[in-house]
C-alpha cells in the first residue's frame, strides 16, 4: 500500500490551508489515514478516488481528555493528536461548525504569561548587562557575560513564542 505525507501548517498557525488540499488529493485517490508527529504531518494512503470533505478541529488543552462533541450525520473522526482532531465526511454531509472561543481564551492566558516572562527576562538581561559594565573583576565579568548570553537566548525564544501565539490568535479571530 502506497503512503504519502503532507505537512500540516494548521498545527502551528490555525488556519485551514490543509483541508482544501486534502480534499483535492482525495479526488486523486489519496485519503487521510492518520496524523503523524503530533499533527505536523498528515499520513495519506492510496485508495480509490472519492469526493470527501475534511474538517480540522482544535480544542483547548484543558479539554483534551474529553471526547469530542456529537458528530453530525456523515462524519467520522479519523485521528486525534494532542488538541487537534481531523474528521472526514461524505460530500453530502452538512459542514461541521468549529468552536474556537475556549481555545482563543486559553491562548490569551498563554499570551499574558509569555508577556510576563518576556518582561522578566528582559529586566534580568538589563541588570546583568549593567553589572557586567560596572564590575571590575574579570572572573565576575565572565560569569555575567555567560548570564547575558543565556538570558539573550531565553529572551529571543520567549519573544518568538509570544509572537507565534499572537499570530495564532489573529488567525483564530478571522475564522
Number of residues in the chain = 175
**What is the mean predicted confidence (pLDDT) over 113-129?**
86
The pLDDT tens digits for 61-87 are: 555 455 555 566 778 888 887 777 888
- Does the pTM surpass 0.75? The reply is no
46, pLDDT greater than 60: yes
Cα torsion 118, 121, 123, 125 to 10°: value is -130
Domain count within the chain? 2
Q: What is the pLDDT of residue 17?
A: 54
CA angle 161, 166, 172 (to 5 degrees): 125
Joined grid coordinates for residue 60: 483547548
Instruction: Please give the residue range of the domain that contains residue 135.
Output: 101-174
Band of the pLDDT at 134, cuts 50, 70, 90?
confident
Q: Is residue 96 part of a domain?
A: no
Picking from 71, 90, 109, the residue at the C-terminal end of a domain is 90
- The average confidence (pLDDT) of the chain is 79
Amino acid at each position: 500500500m502506497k503512503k504519502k505525507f503532507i505537512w500540516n501548517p494548521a498545527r502551528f498557525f490555525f488556519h485551514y490551508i490543509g483541508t482544501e488540499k486534502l480534499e483535492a488529493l482525495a479526488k486523486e485517490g489519496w485519503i487521510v489515514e492518520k496524523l503523524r508527529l503530533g499533527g505536523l504531518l498528515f499520513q495519506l494512503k492510496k485508495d480509490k478516488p472519492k469526493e470527501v470533505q475534511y474538517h480540522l478541529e482544535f480544542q483547548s488543552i484543558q479539554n483534551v481528555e474529553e471526547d469530542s462533541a456529537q458528530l453530525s450525520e456523515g462524519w467520522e473522526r479519523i485521528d486525534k493528536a494532542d488538541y487537534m482532531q481531523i474528521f472526514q465526511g461524505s460530500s453530502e454531509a452538512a459542514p461541521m461548525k468549529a468552536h474556537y472561543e475556549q481555545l482563543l481564551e486559553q491562548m490569551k492566558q498563554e499570551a499574558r504569561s509569555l508577556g510576563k516572562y518576556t518582561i522578566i527576562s528582559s529586566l534580568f538581561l538589563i541588570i546583568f548587562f549593567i553589572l557586567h559594565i560596572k564590575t571590575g573583576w574579570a572572573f565576575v565579568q565572565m560569569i555575567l557575560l555567560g548570564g547575558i548570553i543565556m538570558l539573550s537566548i531565553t529572551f529571543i525564544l520567549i519573544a518568538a513564542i509570544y509572537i507565534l501565539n499572537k499570530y495564532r490568535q489573529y488567525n483564530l479571530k478571522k475564522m
